Amino acid sequence: MGEKAVTGFLLQGMIIDVLDVDGDAPVLAGATEDTGLYMCGTIRLMDAVRRSWTERGLSYPNLRFETFGNSGWYDPEEFVVKVPSLGLQVLVGPSRRLL
């Protein structure tokens, strides 16, 4: 893991701040062209971080991400989660979340 871990806060589609693990300083404000960011989260959170990253003129290949959620283009569907080591199988309905 890198020198800093970050956490983001999302309120009504806008990032309030991106803080270091101690909650002290905004991380993106101090980002340089050599900064790399690995993030995951909801689409809205990641879109806000990407916009902020781009507005600061930072190198896009240094921004890596993983999505927690769908694009919103399709209606929700039920799905099955299996945990073979525990012999569990859970049906998650279209209006439910696993997280």
Using the predicted structure, report yes or no on whether residue 75 has a pLDDT greater than 90. no
Q: Nearest-CA neighbor of 62 among 53, 70, 71, 75?
A: 53
Inter-residue contact 26 to 5 (CB < 8 Å): no
**8-state DSSP, 29:** G
Mean pLDDT confidence for 61-90: 85
Quick check: helix, strand or coil at residue 30?
A: helix
Q: Give CA–CA dist 1/36, Å, rounded.
A: 12
Condensed to tens digits (0 to 9), the pLDDT of residues 2-58 reads 555 555 554 444 444 555 555 555 667 778 888 888 887 777 778 878 888 888 888
